Structure 1
Amino acid sequence: MQRLGKKVKRGATVLGIGAVLTTALIGCGTSPSNNVSGGSNSVPSTGGAKPVTVRYSEVIRSIFYAPQYVAMAEGFFKQQGIKVDMVTSEGSNKGAAALLSGSADIALVGPETSVYIYNQHGGKTLKVFYQLTNTDGSFIMSHKKINNFKWSDLQGKSVISWRPGSAPQMVLAHDLKAKGVKANVITNIAPQAMVGAFESKKADFIQVYEPVASQLEQSGKAYYDTSVGQAIGNYPETAFEATSSYVKAHPKVIQEWTDAVYKATQWINSHSATQVAQAIKPYFTGTPVNLIAKSVDRYQKLNTWKTPVLSKAELTTLQNVLIASGTEKPNQRVKYSDVVDPSFAQKALNGK
């Protein structure tokens, strides 16, 4: 398992489907190494300069974040002269805390964390510099197969979701309200216990990411119902962030990181889901390649990795959801420039 500040253990043994699902859910896929700049056969390293080590915290381990694993596996970070020292925080709140404490340089978190921290008016703020995912990546699963699922099927039912104030929890709440559905959304179960609670029939439905959704399907313990992201449409679910002071002090590193991930996204767009699965499988030990490919295909169909620029309109959507959920007050809306610096992603898009 990867946890903040801990090394990744090699060769994790998979003890049944329950262990596999729990491992994937809480972000514990095994990577080739804690230092994962990548060793591609197709992308050469640039020059002979010593690589810059970036201490990186990912929010959870999920195929939803495939571009970053491709950037590692196919050597795009290495090409940019970056050595990635990766850990898994198991939550945007923990990833943001790592940035603020100085134990991480860059983190993949929900952009709402930048809003929360800015509104605390503390000594540090966080800046989004690359939007990795353009919609929510979770799915609703049920114990029994529901033909022609409708959101009204959740009326009066229980759903295991994520912690209050987290992106998936707030997006689900938004979708339910938009559909006029009242469900019992359970938000007090720790991520590592969610699958076990669902299998123990603690709820009728569960909200999970890939590859857990496909693993539950294959095990016969759950059935796919719907995409939470498809219901809300464009939504800035996760982004690469750093403290404003780090961005200012290390613009070259930020640009190199941005370029590496953007090139990885382009690589994904020009390769099949199976080829992507083969590339990232070292980060999902215990998950069959066919299930990884199914997960990638599911996210590609959602147009998950559409653009690296978090737009003003998307920030407005985000803050509308925060206000509706009660985690931000209407008078706490932040300005775009307070929490987003789009210049690095724009340069990547323009090939500069």
Structure 2
Amino acid sequence: MNRKAIAGLMLAAALAMAALPGCGAGKEEAVKVRIGEVTRSVFYAPQYVALAEGFFKEEGLDVELQTTAGGDKTMTALLSGGVDVALVGPETSIYVYQQGADDPVLSFAQVTQTDGTFLVSRSGKPLDWNDLKGAKFLGQRKGGMPQMAGEFALKKHGIDPHADLDLIQNIDFANITAAYASGTGDYVQLFEPQASMIEQEGKGKVVASFGVESGKLPYTAFMSKQSYIEKNADTVQKFTDALQKAQTWVKEHSAEDIADAVGTYFPNTDKAILVSSIDRYKQQGSYAENPIIDEQEWNNLLDVMTSAGELKERAEHGKLVDNSFAEKAGK
């Protein structure tokens, strides 16, 4: 074989190698996206499914997840550039808007569509809402969505949270479960899996769901600064596409399957607790089936905030919600 033939074969081989997946300069690098989640909870199962099942990777995204405990801390991380996307209650974006932000925060993909907390009673007796009057109630942070939704539900049952309850609100979010387990309060408002863990320990019983009581609302959503969304529209679309895949996966799989998928994110939680927690959320329709934040749910959110005295003016749906990515993901 002459030199020209050998050179030709070598060139052909090099071109073939470059065409293979993972070879050559043509491969696109994954785009890094930093998420700050308000807390670690099975309430956000679709997010963990998107990570565990590789849906973000399929879209060419390298997602880094960090827990920034508390809505105020999560929003601070977003505004300061510590994270690109926040998973938090949209009420935080309304607070930023009310302060006259030049770069408003927009919700672009809904994850949960009900409140995620449950009323836990130390006595475990069947619930009579009037029994709460005069009781010590271990609540959530003032102005936060859990507290506002809880107050909204209590008012429906004729209870003034600030006049009828001995309301305790000076305990940090991360320490509420431990405080209740150690004996603080007759009632407490808890997310899962903490509510199921309290039941397992025999220190209380779930007697009502604030998610059922307060109705549909965009309780937790992915959001980012308007400037980030405008500069990274393709990334935001891929992110939302991955979430839609995860939401469909959650809808089509059992609580046990979901627990298996997300278990690595809850290494210290018994699988039976994970399954019961996820099942509670599935049964009451807490997991949104698509990322779209509809106007009726948004208006319910505004009603909840108004009832809590936390809304200076109604922030209209079109100003703080961008459904364009969610609508494309659905197609």
The two structures have a TM-score, normalised by structure 1, of: 0.83
Partner of 1:326: 309
**Superposed CA offset, 1:258-297 (max 9, x none):** 1111101111111111111011000001111111111111
**How far 1:325 sits from its partner (Å)?**
1.0
Q: Structure 2 CA distance, aligned partners of 1:164 and 1:348?
A: 35
Partner of 1:163: 141
67-76 vs 288-297, greater mean Cα deviation: 288-297
Q: Structure 1 CA distance, aligned partners of 2:253 and 2:79?
A: 37
Contact 2:211 2:286 in 1 (8 A): no
Partner of 2:89: 110
Q: Please, which runs of 5 or more residues in structure 2 have no aligned partner?
A: 1-20
Question: Which of the residues 291, 297, 301 maps onto 1:308?
Answer: 291
Q: Structure 2 CA distance, aligned partners of 1:51 and 1:94?
A: 28
**How far 1:316 sits from its partner (Å)?**
1.3
**How far 1:199 sits from its partner (Å)?**
2.3
Question: Which of the residues 267, 271, 276 maps onto 1:294?
Answer: 276
Partner of 2:54: 75
Q: Structure 2 CA distance, aligned partners of 1:240 and 1:152?
A: 37
Q: Structure 1 CA distance, aligned partners of 2:273 and 2:220?
A: 23
Q: Structure 1 CA distance, aligned partners of 2:328 and 2:287?
A: 17
Question: Which of the residues 170, 189, 214 maps onto 1:207?
Answer: 189
Partner of 1:12: none
- Whether 1:256 and 2:238 are equivalent positions in the alignment is yes
- Whether 1:339 and 2:320 are equivalent positions in the alignment is yes
**Superposed CA offset, 1:100-148 (max 9, x none):** 111110000110111111111122210000111000010111222213x
Partner of 1:192: 174
- Whichever residue aligns with residue 150 of structure 1, its letter is D
**How far 1:304 sits from its partner (Å)?**
1.1
**How far 1:155 sits from its partner (Å)?**
1.9
Partner of 2:98: 119
Partner of 1:131: 110
Contact 2:69 2:174 in 1 (8 A): no
**Superposed CA offset, 1:125-183 (max 9, x none):** 10000111000010111222213x13223222121111100000000111111110232
**How far 1:301 sits from its partner (Å)?**
0.5
Q: Please, which runs of 5 or more residues in structure 1 have no aligned partner?
A: 1-43
Partner of 2:15: none
- Whichever residue aligns with residue 344 of structure 1, its letter is F
Q: Structure 1 CA distance, aligned partners of 2:99 and 2:179?
A: 34
The two structures have a TM-score, normalised by structure 2, of: 0.88
- Whichever residue aligns with residue 205 of structure 2, its letter is Y
Q: Structure 2 CA distance, aligned partners of 1:154 and 1:249?
A: 50
- Whether 1:247 and 2:229 are equivalent positions in the alignment is yes
Q: How many residues align?
A: 303
The structure in which a higher percent of residues are helix is 2
Contact 2:121 2:205 in 1 (8 A): yes
What is the CA RMSD across the aligned residues, in angstroms? 1.6
**Superposed CA offset, 1:223-250 (max 9, x none):** 1111011001102111100000011111
Partner of 1:348: 329
Aligned partner of residue 50 in structure 2, secondary structure: helix
* Bigger CA radius of gyration: 2
**How far 1:218 sits from its partner (Å)?**
1.0
- Whether 1:100 and 2:79 are equivalent positions in the alignment is yes
Partner of 1:152: 130
Q: Structure 2 CA distance, aligned partners of 1:333 and 1:192?
A: 30
